[in-house]
Structure 1
């Protein structure tokens, strides 16, 4: 399943459903599809997302340290995953554009 975020102020952002639903929860909304954030609430949604991404980034750092130690122990090379903070960049840009334009954000 794919979820597309849209706003009048930015191009659409499409993500895989599980990642998008995680971001929706981080913003403080239910994962009902379709959904929306009013123009007045986009700023607080962005703040919630950034706060929760910081927590996730700290957990990622701990996991990276453990994975490096495991790789040294196993002498195997593992392909690294794309961090959730990197995956969030397009959505963050959309939210910032919506704030600047005083526009809503929708997902479907």
Structure 2
């Protein structure tokens, strides 16, 4: 499943599991479709940033780390959404996802 976040300033698409995690970090239920009104986007952005800052990359448990691809942290996965929400705050527009 893919989830697309849509605003008047742009769109991004994320894998479903990552998108649901980000939606929950913003303080919303993990329902798709959903939306955040323009007045509530700054609060959602603040909550997302705080949750991503608190999140840590999972440690590698493989003994042969040279052959293991590094884990991608939630902070890296969430960066495009943080940028989109920041632009939405500046433009004063709603954010929807489906």
TM-score scaled by structure 2?
0.91
State the distance in 2 between where 1:44 and 1:81 align.
29
Deviation per residue, 1:54-80 (Å, 9 max, x gap): 1103xx2xx43xx3xx55xx3442211
* Counterpart check, 1:46 vs 2:40: no
State the shift of 1:97 in Å.
0.6
2:55 counterpart SS class? helix
Alignment RMSD: 1.4
Q: CA deviation digits over 1:49-106, x for unaligned, max 9? A: 011001103xx2xx43xx3xx55xx344221122211111110111001000110000
Structure 2 spans left out of the alignment, 5+ residues: none
Higher helix fraction (1 or 2)? 1
TM-score when normalising by structure 1: 0.83
User: CA separation in 2, counterparts of 1:76 and 1:99?
Assistant: 41
CA-to-partner distance for each residue in 1:3-41, whole Å, 9 max, x for gaps? 0001002x2100000000000000000111110000000
Alignment-derived partner of residue 2 in structure 1:
2
Aligned length in residues: 97
SS in 2 for 1:88: helix
User: Which ranges in structure 1 are unaligned for 5 or more consecutive residues?
Assistant: none
